[in-house]
Structure 1
Amino acid sequence: MSARAILIGAPRSGSGKTSVTIGILRALARRGVRVRGAKSGPDYIDPGFHEAATGLPGVNLDSWAMSPALLNGLASEAAADAEIVVIESAMGLFDGIPAGAGRTGSGADLARLYGIPSLLVLDVSGQSTTAAAVAKGFATYDPAVRIAGVVLNRLGSERHRRLCAEAVEALGLPVVGAILRDPEMTMPERHLGLVQASEHANLAAFIDRMADMVERSLDLDAVMALATSLARPPADAHGFEDALSPPGQRIALARDAAFTFVYPHVAARWRMAGAEIVPFSPLADEPPPADCDVCWLPGGYPELHAGRLATAGTFRAGMAEFAATKPVHGECGGFMVLGEMLEDADGRTHRMLGLLGHATSFARRKMNLGYRQATLLADCPLGPAGTRVRGHEFHYARITATGSDAPLAELADGEGRPLGPSGLRRGNVSGTFFHAIARSA
């Protein structure tokens, strides 16, 4: 590994990590620094913002879902292609699941493994010197996770900044940024988190405003000085054997506002293995290209576009013709579209592809969130029967009718507790609610 790195952490989601990360990424890119963004854990939205800010693909580094060898391989790739890597922690810095040492999925795992210093973003609204108690807790909680500096976020005044900063710096922690409260800096959200980069109106201008905020509010030279070289794993400790194999040589990939959730590392490994990804748009009533040998419907927000999908006759006919002879797989939103019916948030029911027999509802919401371990019961684009896959589930839709199709996998949660049969398969068609990240090792 050649790049230096710093990890942006916080006590919880909503503290401002993403805004600070995006601002730092774009501000460094403006300086001509070759900078790359990474995200700990299974978040599939933030890497899109990282790419938009830097011009370089984002990457997920997930210590639970990825084997150590795959994690090291992806980290090494990111570091080899950049001068500095800025890693954004998911949720709170230490938040993960009970698992083996270094396999919890937390940002702290990456800090320990690669010796990465952490920049702590503290939302200090509603407090002043108490911010120092929070910072001290982070600094002393785990000696293997070094808190190198602090950014104070959502300050109300200069006096507020002074009280917080003096208390934190009395601990020996440098305050390298102080950001005033500004509603215009709030990133728009919907039910699965942030609105995606591809949907953001005036994305470039928005990211530039984040960079302006960072340049105005942070000592960027001090932030860069905190970054250190990533610890280098042994040469035989990284590789890509546990990456998901390409499901075909030419992959028809649905890609538009309804189908957007593809992990960057998954698509990148498919290409590096020699596969060609051929995008098509169901919302534009396009069928999967007939010269492809597999079709993949990724997750996204089909519930927001169900009416258009229901009337896309060319897409519907093309999917039926493709599935008659070639594999089709859907993840989460794609799985919903493969079913018979989809009920949107307003209670309106829309006819879907009918390639599987289930029906789903977004009106009768139930949040499903967490890591998943799947053992495939049949051959499908995720791998042959018996393959164990690690992934993540995050959706509010529920199945309201199961149909009569066979289950695709036996599912367990991240701690190995059985969840029972999951997903469905019929002929060449398969689908699951969980997003596959890597093969289990």
Structure 2
Amino acid sequence: MTPGLLITAPRSGSGKTIMTLGLLRAFTLKGLCVQPFKSGPDYIDPTFQQAASRRPSFNLDSWAMPSPMIGALTRHAGDADLIVAEGVMGLFDGAPMAGESGNGSSADIAAALNWPVVLVMDVSGQSQSAAAVAHGFRSLRPDIVMAGVILNRVASERHERLIRAAMAEADIPVFGAIPRSEALSLPERHLGLVQATEQADLDATMDRIADIIAAHLDLSAIHAAARPTLLQTQSAKSGAPPGQRIAIARDAAFSFTYAHLLSDWRAAGAEILPFSPLADEVPDTTADAIWLPGGYPELHAGRIAQAGRFLSALRRHAETRPIHGECGGYMVLGEVLIDAQGHSHAMAGLLGLVTSFAERRLHLGYRRARLLAPMAGFPAGVSLNGHEFHYSTILAQPDSPLATVTDAEGKAVSSTGSHRGPVTGSFFHLIAEGSAA
């Protein structure tokens, strides 16, 4: 199998996303075919990884995905020379309780797939102590192999020498040291990085990051540290497609769609029919189902409210065929969306939901949903694994609940979603069908 490695860190904010993007583009520019993966639930980073490597990036999640599904997703690296995966949060960070095949940590993925880890360390504010941190990460789990470290945000040549000497004494390879640089940054907003599709000159930005990475890291040593992927590729799917012809909203307001879902739907024979609500486009009238993904409708609520052709088409479709909305898509299916300035915008009115972005509160975590009613592609009673990540507050949710929803600890959460006729919606983002109870 294709050799791979996982870029991780002791904590969020250490620079692993930039390092991953720089490595993906640097190896690509050297003529390698590099397959990206992202550990954990994340829509935004994979789009940047696709831009850097020019190949779709796929999520791997040990909490939400059964082991056979994780193995099956590695098939996307079958024609690649190298796998470069990015971790989530710190290497060992995950849910408080295990899910399908682990607790969702990057360590689970590295162990399952035989990928050595490269630890990106923000060494600002420390010197020799960085070696103690690296030593602890190397020794905590015996099934994890740490290939070496990348020193990030190094202040000076002396700073680098001190840390390298301590790492050498601890027998920890150093793949390179990156100085502090404003060039190694990307703009952010409330759910993470500003989306790749919204960034001007993204290709040039990737080249600039790759140039810095290539100038300061030993790319040959990093490549040589990769190990063959061991988990056997198996036949496992994330769930049945919601129809044979699926109209999917896709633009700056509706962009949070997992690549593995679309890949599995296509593999099952479904046709994906994208359309743009922001351009007031009408979903294909022959579609069996409409799927409204999450994204940033709160930033475009005025334009969506004025998209009369789009909203009218939703209402006509809902008379006979299913529509499902996830997170932002759910908000658009509701009656009213209140933006950050407190202005109310009328939405499709297919559900009674009223949400407010003016009353911001973070909702974050893994979710397990057991459907109380059919949802596009799934019958009532099915268990689904996914996650919730948004800042909007529910002010009214009068329709019947779509599911009983619990968090990673099995505690009930109030965001059950709702349904009315063939229209369903939830703040729950689907990752995979869960195990039977």
Q: Same fold (TM over 0.5)?
A: yes
Alpha-carbon distance, 1:83 to partner: 1.3
Q: Distance in 2 between matches of 1:435 and 1:71?
A: 18
* Aligned equivalent of 2:260, options 256, 261, 265: 265
Quote the residue 1:397 is aligned against.
392
Q: Distance in 2 between matches of 1:346 and 1:206?
A: 32
Alpha-carbon distance, 1:227 to partner: 0.6
Quote the residue 2:131 is aligned against.
132
Quote the residue 1:424 is aligned against.
418
CA contact (8 A) 2:116 2:226 kept: yes
Q: Does 1:254 align with 2:252?
A: no
Listed one character per residue, the Cα deviations across residues 104-151 of structure 1 (whole Å, up to 9, x for unaligned) are 111100111122110000001111111111111111111211111100
* Aligned equivalent of 2:433, options 415, 435, 439: 439
Q: Distance in 2 between matches of 1:164 and 1:305?
A: 47
Task: Give the letter for the 2:162 counterpart.
Answer: L
Quote the residue 1:363 is aligned against.
358
Q: Does 1:194 align with 2:190?
A: no
Give me the CA root mean square deviation.
1.3
| DSSP 3-state at the match of 2:254 | coil
Quote the residue 2:39 is aligned against.
40
Task: Give the letter for the 2:402 counterpart.
Answer: L
Alpha-carbon distance change, 296 to 14 in structure 1, aligned in 2, over 3 angstroms: same
| DSSP 3-state at the match of 1:266 | helix
Quote the residue 1:84 is aligned against.
82
TM-score (norm 1): 0.96
Listed one character per residue, the Cα deviations across residues 380-411 of structure 1 (whole Å, up to 9, x for unaligned) are 114000010000100000101223x1110000
CA contact (8 A) 1:4 1:79 kept: no
| DSSP 3-state at the match of 1:363 | coil
Unaligned runs of 5+ in 2: none
Of the structure 1 ranges 95-104 and 256-265, higher mean CA displacement relative to structure 2 is found in 95-104
Q: Distance in 2 between matches of 1:345 and 1:20?
A: 33
Equivalent residues, number: 434
Quote the residue 1:204 is aligned against.
203
| DSSP 3-state at the match of 1:371 | strand
Alpha-carbon distance change, 420 to 349 in structure 1, aligned in 2, over 3 angstroms: closer
CA contact (8 A) 1:252 1:288 kept: yes
Alpha-carbon distance, 1:421 to partner: 6.6
Q: Distance in 2 between matches of 1:49 and 1:382?
A: 29
Q: Distance in 2 between matches of 1:78 and 1:158?
A: 41
| DSSP 3-state at the match of 1:251 | strand
| DSSP 3-state at the match of 1:113 | helix
Quote the residue 2:320 is aligned against.
325
Q: Distance in 2 between matches of 1:257 and 1:31?
A: 32
Identity of aligned residues (%): 53
| DSSP 3-state at the match of 1:185 | coil
Q: Distance in 2 between matches of 1:232 and 1:240?
A: 13
Alpha-carbon distance, 1:160 to partner: 1.2
CA contact (8 A) 2:243 2:377 kept: no
Q: Distance in 2 between matches of 1:100 and 1:296?
A: 30
CA contact (8 A) 1:409 1:423 kept: yes
Task: Give the letter for the 1:430 counterpart.
Answer: T
Q: Does 1:116 align with 2:115?
A: yes
Task: Give the letter for the 1:192 counterpart.
Answer: L
Quote the residue 1:161 is aligned against.
160
Task: Give the letter for the 1:432 counterpart.
Answer: S
| DSSP 3-state at the match of 1:64 | coil
Q: Distance in 1 between matches of 2:414 and 2:391?
A: 19
Q: Does 1:55 align with 2:48?
A: no
Alpha-carbon distance, 1:418 to partner: 2.5
The correspondence of residues 333-372 of structure 1 with structure 2, limited to 5 A, is 333-372=328-367
CA contact (8 A) 2:7 2:117 kept: yes
Quote the residue 2:169 is aligned against.
170
The correspondence of residues 282-321 of structure 1 with structure 2, limited to 5 A, is 282-321=277-316
Task: Give the letter for the 1:438 counterpart.
Answer: A
Unaligned runs of 5+ in 1: none
Task: Give the letter for the 1:289 counterpart.
Answer: D
TM-score (norm 2): 0.97
Q: Distance in 1 between matches of 2:337 and 2:131?
A: 49
CA contact (8 A) 1:260 1:299 kept: yes
